[in-house]
Structures are given as structure tokens and as C-alpha cells.
Chains A and B, each alone.
Chain A
Amino acid sequence: MSTPTEIAVERRGGAIVAHLGGEVDMTNAGQVRDELLTSVPNDALALVIELSDCRYLDSAGIEVVFDMARRLRRRRQELRLALPASSPLMRLLDLTEVGSAAPIYETLDAALDG
């Protein structure tokens, strides 16, 4: 059995929105990172990862967020997260201080406004 993940990417103005659904763990975190990185063209200003359909994220997934924020910053691009406050994932994101590397917004629109 493998870990099910879905990534759907769309362009919204100057930003790329990646809807990350399903589950991310140590077996697929590297793949998810590579998929997300290749989806961001050089002329994009920001990548918004939209997590409302993400059901599971572990420390490897958190590492992906930090790693991506670092890489994008080097390319002068911003990483933002969109996640409703009611999400079960919220406490994990607070605990690992993900917000310090990628600001977290309640809605996709808020994340796009920056």
C-alpha cells in the first residue's frame, strides 16, 4: 500500500497555487517537494500551498515546508500556506513554528493578498 497524495497546480495572477490533498509522510515527502518546486516558474512571485484537503502531514512534511521556503527565498520568491483555523493540522504547524518560514492564512484569498 502506498501513501495517496494529490497535487493540483493553478496560476492566480503573479502567484502559483498548489492544492495539496491526501497525505504526506516520509515515503513521499521528497517527491512532493520536487513536484512543488518544479511547478513554480521563475516569473512567479509566490507559491501558495493550499492545505484544506490535506489529511495527514508528518515531520518529513514539515521539513518539506521549511526546505521549500529556504529554496524559494533564494529565488526571491515567497512561500505561503492557506489552511482553515479549524484544521486538525493546526496544532502541528503551531508547534513546529512553520509560520516563521511560511506565513499561514485562514483562506486562499487572504494568502493571495499576502
Chain B
Amino acid sequence: MKLGHLLHEAATTAARELETGYAAVLELTRDGRGLLVRAGHGLPHGVLGAVIPALADELPGYALQSGGPVVVKDFGEESRFGPTTLQRRLEIVSAMVAPIGARGRHFGVIGVHSPTRRNFSPDDANFLQALANVLGAASERARHDELVRDSEARFRELADTTPALMWMTDAEGHIVFVNQGWLRFTGHRLSEELGHGFELNAHPDDRGELLERWREAIRRREEFRHEYRLAGHDGRYRWVLAVGTPRFVEGEFVGYVGTATDIHERRTMEEALRESEASFRELADTAPAMIWTTDEHGLVTFVNEGWLRFTGTTLEEELGATWTLGVHPDDAEELQASWDAAVPERRPWEREYRLRGRDQHYRWIADRGVPRYVGGRFVGYVGTAIDIHERKTMEGRLLEVYEQEHRIAETLQRSLLPERLPQVEGLELAARYLPAGHETAIGGDWYDVLERADGRVALVVGDVVGQGLRAAATMGQLRNACRAYGLVEASPAEVVARLNRLVTSGVEEAMATVLYLVLDRETGEAVFTSAGHPPPLLVAPEGARYLEGGRSVPVGAADPAVFREGTAVLPPGSSLLLYTDGLVERRDVPLEQRLEALARIAAPPEDDLERLCDRILSGVLGDSFPADDVALLAVRPEPVPADRFDLSLPAEPGSLVVLRRRFGRFLHAAGASPAEAYEVTLTVCEAAGNAIEHAYGPRDATFDVEAAFEDGELVATVRDNGSWRERRSEHRGRGLAIIKGLMDDVKVATEHGGTVVRMRRRLAA
């Protein structure tokens, strides 16, 4: 269901169930200073989509800070805050507003508003907060989906729609590769571009200089950088900036790799700016200048007609201490200060500032004054001012365009390098990425972590053969494909086989080594396929060893190809290291010895996974830069004590999945069967679900779960701060029935103003 629908349904449900006439869902704007009316019930026309300020002294803003539902019996008696303009307009008497989402990540508020006096019960407040909790969970989900879409879109952008067109030439300067972006730009097919000189498609006027510069760059083997007009698919020319870096293979020059960036907006803006400067100079000669004079104290004694025509003021108004008259407030202070500094020393004065014109709009002017002397005696200043508004605003826009170009380049760079690791419940993760120490900082290595729907976690490390932009673009595509296949396919061999099919069916030739491993967090079972990749290193408490098995050919090497799977079980307390061959390959030392060295360096016990990564990198590479890119991914299941469980979580729906994962691992460690583990986890989560649905209040609501074994019997306790109520809506006591049906013994008690559910169950093991 779309978030928008859900919000509307929530507003309607709230208004109907609480019988208030009005209900609204407000979303906090990005800057946190406004509240957007996202959904409502009974609201007058035109209110939906409006933004109201999020003020702490009005009800919605107050509710955001309170952390729980805020109830107003009668605004007439309310001293903590006032009504919003809209509430005043609707003559609201009673209202109730609850925050949506966790503290610090508020989505907004949901509220009900009644024009008649109402006495909302605590149960009503619970209900509203329960609705808010559901919306909180849904909005988190929507936000997460958007992030995932964003990051995947960035990679598609890289390969297909990146603003930088990519090209590669051989040593003679003939094109050997252009990317999709280039082909889209020129409207050509790949075959039409290959083998031609770099100057193909250039504007005839630019071709001569381009060729000259290009030949010169090739001769000197230097970086090539040139702006020229390139013909687009519609026959029109656009300005591009071509940048190329010479490629060397084992010291021999083999050609260039480079990009071309569309800089059309900036170039045309620059040209317009040059034109406007030229026309200004023409204008200044003929247009009546703005002229002024002062006395020796700096007081204005005269302004000419030109000045008065500009400002629309009278001569009387302008005389005297009127330096900041009509000056833009943001410029006035500095103008005054510079004037005050210049006059006593009789220095020439110059300033650009905004001055209000007769139409009340500010325009940029350049104002310049020089000291006047009569018979050697200082008598004051004479000055002239000119209108530079067009030039000034053009400069501002040009600056924006430059910044935008810079941002695009940055985004491109970032999208090529691996992103931050996800948070995975029950797993400690650490990763390192070192670009090769030479040439371009962009390589073909990648790593990735994803959570599958079956609860297992997929870990990937891959290395595309080759370097530079081309390898990076292929990496982006393979990484994306690997994510897609990894979510659908349970078997590592099948995921890698699909990657192989993708690569071998492609137009471009590519080859990659991939290690793909699926880990079960509860059991420590790992299934993996190594497509031409160095083996994963298991660092167990008793020592380090490489996981054998699952050896297969690299992706893209054969079609059809057979991919095998290896299996292993991670002993408790052990870590697993996945890496690319940049970490273990060096020409002067055999691979065997490098692998031995890596195992030796990784073996000593280390609590902190980040420190383990640092130790490995510094131990294996020393101070030298790696000759090839290095990716390192370290993973360690968090240890689970099998004898007792103790966890405190915020009372929000998102906590349920955390509780489920941790409790599942605890029960597995305690030897429970899959059916037992499911049933006991379910009952604990049902009790926790009740605590969450009824959690509200000024305190940050949390709940506690404890579990331990007494005489071979599991005793689990769920404790909260609210009072036990059966869930509203249609569950009709099903939760408690499930708890009672699946446990041997259940007791519900009220202690210290909260509810405690104690459950016992004997396990077969």
C-alpha cells in the first residue's frame, strides 16, 4: 500500500473512531521547520498540501517534543501552548495529537480535532498513539525503500545516464570504446564510432584546434583537456569538456581513457556574460551617469538627475548623512564601515552594493568616489555610480552552474566507490577499500551485504578484470545484478551462474572473480561459491584457516560453466574474511606464501572487528600502496549466551524484528527445535506487541524481555510501563489466546505501574 493511502486511511479511521469531525496527518518538512498537511478528514478545501510552521508553542510542535500523545480538553483552559491558525479558524475546542516515528527521526504528527468539548480517555490516547506507531513503521519502510531505490538508481546512472560520456582510444588515437552515454548523446551505434579519430562529430569550427591539441597530447603522453562542441543525436551542437588520461600497460603507452562532460549551460552563460559586459561598456558611455558630491566631512552635498531618476527620491531627501539611504539592509553595514574608514584618510572609495530603484526593486550598482582638492585643500568627494545589475546576477547564476557541475562530478565519484555497510542485526561487519596506488583512483573491486527474506545474509566480494572507468562501470552493473539475483535466488551457485549468463550474453566482454557466500546467523552455517576468487579466511578462536570447496571458473570465462558450492560452519566467536586478490597478490612473492602470511597476521584474537581490518591491512601491505585495488569485508556473528537472555527495546513496532532475531538466536544456542523456537519466539513477540500497541506517555516508553532456564524449563518475562489491554480493532483477544495456547503456564500481573507477563515452557531438548 502506498504511504499516502495509509495516511488518509489513518486520518479517516481516527476521525471516525474518536468521533471528532476533523483529523489530520502532518509531515515534518526536510528542514524540520514546517509541517505539511499530508492527509486529513473533514478539512476545508485547500488545506491539504499547505505547510504550517512547526512552532513549539502551538499544539503540533509541542506534541513533537513531548514524545507522546498530547490531550487538550479545552483550548480556553490550555496554558502550555496555543491552537494553530487553522484550529482557530475551525473553532476547535478539544484536540489530541500524537507524534509519528521514533524520537530524532520524527515523520510528523497525527491529530484529531473537535469543535465541541470532548473528554478524551486514556484509551482514546492509546488508540491514537497505536495509529501513530503503525504510521511510524510504514513511513520508516517508505524511507528505506526510497534509499535503496536511490542507491540502485545511482549505479544505473553510472552505466547509462552518467553526465560524463566515457571513451577510450588506442595509441594512435582511434576510438576503441565509448559507453552507452556517449552513444545516446551522439545517436550513433557503437560500430559507427569505433576506429574513428577522436575529432569525429566535432563542430567544423572547433575541429582544427581540437585535432592540434589532441595530437600534441598524444605526442607528449600528457593529460588531454579541451572544450569543444560535439554534435548531438538531434544534429545540434553542445559544448563538452573532454578529459583524457594516458593509459600504460607495463610501461608502454597504449592509448587514452577519458570522459566528456556536458558543459553547455556554463559555456553559453559565459558567452552571454561576455556579451552583457560589452553592451554595458557601450551603454555607460551614452547613459546619464549617477553623480554625487560630499563636503570635507563626507556629508552629501549634491546628487545629479541621473541618481534621482534611478532612486525616485528628491534632492532634499538625498542631502546630508544619507549614505545608506535606499541601500539593501544586507549591504548597508559594510558600506557604512568602508565609507567611515575611507573619509578620515581621504582615500579613494569603491563599493558594489544593492540600491533600491524607483520601482522599489534593488539593483546592483558599482559606486566609486575620489577625493577633491581645491588649491591643495581637501573639500570632499566626487563620485559616480553605474548600474551593474545584469552582470552581477549573471555572475551569481554562473557560480550556481559551476557548483552544480562540481556536485555532479562528486556524485559520480562517490557512486563508483562502495557505500557504507548496512546495519545487520546479529552481525558485526567491517569493510575496507583501498584504491590502487597508481593511475586513476577508480577500480573494479566491490563488496556488498544484503539481508534475504529467508533471514540469511548474503556477503559478496568481487573483482572485475581491468581498471579505470570501464572496469568501474562493469563493476556497477555486476554489483547491481548480484543484489537483484541475491534477493531472489537462495543458492550461491545459482546466483553466480546467473551473473555468468548475464556477462556472457552481453555485448561487452568482461570477466570478474566473485566470492558469494550466504550465512545463517542462527546456526553459523555458510554456503559459498568462489568463481575464480581467493578462498575466504575463517578466523576461529583456535586459529585461522581457509575455507576450501566451491571452486569454480571466473564469471565470464566460459559458457556454459559449472559452478560449485562449498559449505562450512562458523564456530562460536569466529570471524570470516572476504577479500580481493589485491590483498594477497604481488609479483615477487608466490601466492601460497602471501596466503600463509595473511592467515598468520589475521590469527591472533581481536575483539574489535575494525581493529582486525586495520591490523590486516597494515600487516599485509606495510606502508606501500597496493598495486591493485583492495577490498576487504569482515563479518562476525555476535556471540549469544545460551543460558540467559536480557534485552530492553523501545516500544515501537520496528523493535519486533530485532527481538525476533535475537530471541531466535538465543533459542537456537539453547538447543530448541525449529518448531519450539518459532512458537516461543512468537509468544514473546505477541506479549511485546501488546506492550508496543499500548505504549505512550511522556517517558520514552521501553519494554524488557528476560529469559532463563529453571530446572530445564524456559521462563520468559515481558515487562512494560503500561497497563495490559487487549488489542483494539479486530484481534479480539487472539494474542493472549496464542500465548496461553503455546506456553505451558502464563501469568499476567501488574507491578510498579506496568504489566508483567510471565511464561513457562518445557523444551524437548
Check: B507 CB closer than 8 A to any chain A CB.
no
- Name the segment of A20-28, A42-50, A76-84, A103-111 touching the other chain: A20-28
Check: A13 CB closer than 8 A to any chain B CB.
no
Alpha-carbon distance between A67 and B455 when the two chains are bound, in angstroms: 27
For residues 58 through 99 of chain A, which have their beta carbon under 8 Å from a beta carbon of chain B? 58-60, 62-63, 66-67, 88-92, 95-96
Alpha-carbon distance between A83 and B656 when the two chains are bound, in angstroms: 25
Q: Say which residue of B137, B452, B693 sits within 8 Å of A4 (CB atoms).
A: B452
Query: What residues of A have a CB within 8 angstroms of the CB of B693 in the complex?
Result: 26
Check: B742 CB closer than 8 A to any chain A CB.
yes
Closest Cβ–Cβ distance, residue B729 to chain A (whole Å): 8
Q: Say which residue of A35, A66, A95 sits within 8 Å of B742 (CB atoms).
A: A95
Query: What residues of A have a CB within 8 angstroms of the CB of B6 in the complex?
Result: 30
Check: A3 CB closer than 8 A to any chain B CB.
yes
For residues 641 through 678 of chain B, which have their beta carbon under 8 Å from a beta carbon of chain A? 653-654, 656-658, 660, 674-675, 677-678
Query: Assuming the A-B contacts A4-B453, A6-B453, A89-B678, are A26 and B656 also in contact, with contact meaning beta carbons closer than 8 angstroms in the complex?
Result: yes
With most chain B CB atoms within 10 A of its CB, the pick from A6, A90, A92 is A92
Closest Cβ–Cβ distance, residue A10 to chain B (whole Å): 15
- Name the segment of B103-111, B193-201, B407-415, B682-690 touching the other chain: B682-690
Chain A: number of interface residues, binned into ranges: 20 to 34
CB distance A56 to B134 under 8 Å? no
Check: A100 CB closer than 8 A to any chain B CB.
no
Chain B 418-448 near chain A by CB (<8 Å), digits 1 or 0: 0000010100000000000000000000000
A4 closest partner in B (C-beta): B453
CB distance B658 to A1 under 8 Å? yes
Alpha-carbon distance between A30 and B130 when the two chains are bound, in angstroms: 14
A70 closest partner in B (C-beta): B730
Query: Assuming the A-B contacts A56-B682, A63-B734, are A21 and B453 also in contact, with contact meaning beta carbons closer than 8 angstroms in the complex?
Result: yes
A32 closest partner in B (C-beta): B1
Check: A55 CB closer than 8 A to any chain B CB.
yes
CB distance B734 to A25 under 8 Å? no
Alpha-carbon distance between A55 and B682 when the two chains are bound, in angstroms: 11
Check: B320 CB closer than 8 A to any chain A CB.
no
Closest Cβ–Cβ distance, residue B460 to chain A (whole Å): 18
CB distance B674 to A2 under 8 Å? no
Closest Cβ–Cβ distance, residue B605 to chain A (whole Å): 29
Closest Cβ–Cβ distance, residue B666 to chain A (whole Å): 16
CB distance A27 to B653 under 8 Å? yes
Alpha-carbon distance between A88 and B84 when the two chains are bound, in angstroms: 53
CB distance A59 to B735 under 8 Å? yes
Check: A39 CB closer than 8 A to any chain B CB.
no
Alpha-carbon distance between A89 and B742 when the two chains are bound, in angstroms: 11
CB distance A59 to B686 under 8 Å? yes
Query: Assuming the A-B contacts A63-B731, A88-B678, are A96 and B738 also in contact, with contact meaning beta carbons closer than 8 angstroms in the complex?
Result: yes
Q: Say which residue of B141, B692, B734 sits within 8 Å of A59 (CB atoms).
A: B734
CB distance B657 to A25 under 8 Å? yes
Query: Assuming the A-B contacts A88-B674, A95-B737, are A2 and B454 also in contact, with contact meaning beta carbons closer than 8 angstroms in the complex?
Result: no
Closest Cβ–Cβ distance, residue A83 to chain B (whole Å): 13
Check: B140 CB closer than 8 A to any chain A CB.
yes
B143 closest partner in A (C-beta): A2
A38 closest partner in B (C-beta): B1
Check: B144 CB closer than 8 A to any chain A CB.
yes
Query: What residues of B have a CB within 8 angstroms of the CB of A63 in the complex?
Result: 730-731, 734
Chain B 112-143 near chain A by CB (<8 Å), digits 1 or 0: 00000000000000000000001001101100
CB distance B657 to A1 under 8 Å? yes
With most chain B CB atoms within 10 A of its CB, the pick from A1, A88, A96 is A1
CB distance A58 to B689 under 8 Å? yes
Chain B 733-748 near chain A by CB (<8 Å), digits 1 or 0: 0110110011000000
B685 closest partner in A (C-beta): A58
Alpha-carbon distance between A112 and B656 when the two chains are bound, in angstroms: 34
Query: Assuming the A-B contacts A4-B452, A55-B455, are A92 and B742 also in contact, with contact meaning beta carbons closer than 8 angstroms in the complex?
Result: yes
Chain B 447-483 near chain A by CB (<8 Å), digits 1 or 0: 0000111110000000000000000000000000000
A53 closest partner in B (C-beta): B454
Q: Say which residue of A1, A5, A60 sits within 8 Å of B453 (CB atoms).
A: A5
CB distance B675 to A91 under 8 Å? yes
Query: What residues of B have a CB within 8 angstroms of the CB of A1 in the complex?
Result: 423, 425, 654, 657-658
Alpha-carbon distance between A22 and B473 when the two chains are bound, in angstroms: 33
Query: Assuming the A-B contacts A5-B453, A26-B653, A26-B689, are A60 and B731 also in contact, with contact meaning beta carbons closer than 8 angstroms in the complex?
Result: yes
CB distance B144 to A95 under 8 Å? no
Alpha-carbon distance between A51 and B423 when the two chains are bound, in angstroms: 28
Check: B679 CB closer than 8 A to any chain A CB.
yes
For residues 208 through 265 of chain B, which have their beta carbon under 8 Å from a beta carbon of chain A? none
Query: What residues of A have a CB within 8 angstroms of the CB of B682 in the complex?
Result: 56, 58, 92
With most chain B CB atoms within 10 A of its CB, the pick from A2, A27, A30, A91 is A27
Query: What residues of B have a CB within 8 angstroms of the CB of A22 in the complex?
Result: 453-454
Alpha-carbon distance between A62 and B679 when the two chains are bound, in angstroms: 14
CB distance A30 to B1 under 8 Å? yes
Alpha-carbon distance between A17 and B141 when the two chains are bound, in angstroms: 26
With most chain B CB atoms within 10 A of its CB, the pick from A22, A26, A90 is A26
For residues 574 through 612 of chain B, which have their beta carbon under 8 Å from a beta carbon of chain A? none
Query: What residues of B have a CB within 8 angstroms of the CB of A4 in the complex?
Result: 451-453, 455
Query: What residues of A have a CB within 8 angstroms of the CB of B656 in the complex?
Result: 3, 25-27
B1 closest partner in A (C-beta): A34
Closest Cβ–Cβ distance, residue B514 to chain A (whole Å): 23
Query: What residues of A have a CB within 8 angstroms of the CB of B452 in the complex?
Result: 4
A67 closest partner in B (C-beta): B730
Q: Say which residue of A2, A30, A67 sits within 8 Å of B134 (CB atoms).
A: A30
Query: Assuming the A-B contacts A1-B654, A91-B742, are A56 and B660 also in contact, with contact meaning beta carbons closer than 8 angstroms in the complex?
Result: yes
Query: What residues of A have a CB within 8 angstroms of the CB of B658 in the complex?
Result: 1
Query: What residues of A have a CB within 8 angstroms of the CB of B737 in the complex?
Result: 95-96
Alpha-carbon distance between A27 and B738 when the two chains are bound, in angstroms: 18
A30 closest partner in B (C-beta): B1
Closest Cβ–Cβ distance, residue A96 to chain B (whole Å): 6
Closest Cβ–Cβ distance, residue A103 to chain B (whole Å): 19
CB distance A27 to B685 under 8 Å? no
Closest Cβ–Cβ distance, residue B10 to chain A (whole Å): 10
Query: What residues of B have a CB within 8 angstroms of the CB of A66 in the complex?
Result: 730
Alpha-carbon distance between A66 and B731 when the two chains are bound, in angstroms: 10
B455 closest partner in A (C-beta): A55
Query: What residues of B have a CB within 8 angstroms of the CB of A6 in the complex?
Result: 453
CB distance A56 to B678 under 8 Å? yes
Query: What residues of A have a CB within 8 angstroms of the CB of B653 in the complex?
Result: 25-27
CB distance B742 to A23 under 8 Å? no
Alpha-carbon distance between A35 and B685 when the two chains are bound, in angstroms: 24
Closest Cβ–Cβ distance, residue B238 to chain A (whole Å): 43
CB distance A88 to B679 under 8 Å? yes
With most chain A CB atoms within 10 A of its CB, the pick from B137, B453, B454, B738 is B453
Alpha-carbon distance between A47 and B674 when the two chains are bound, in angstroms: 28
8 of the cross-chain contacts (CB-CB < 8 Å) are A1-B657, A25-B653, A56-B678, A58-B682, A58-B686, A91-B675, A95-B742, A96-B738
Beyond the given pairs A59-B689, A88-B678, 5 more chain A to chain B contacts, judged by CB atoms under 8 angstroms and listed by A's residue number, are A2-B140, A2-B654, A27-B138, A88-B675, A96-B738
The 3 closest A-B pairs by CB, nearest first: A22-B453, A88-B678, A88-B675
Spell out A's residues near B (CB within 8 Å): 1-6, 21-23, 25-28, 30-31, 34-35, 53, 55-56, 58-60, 62-63, 66-67, 88-92, 95-96
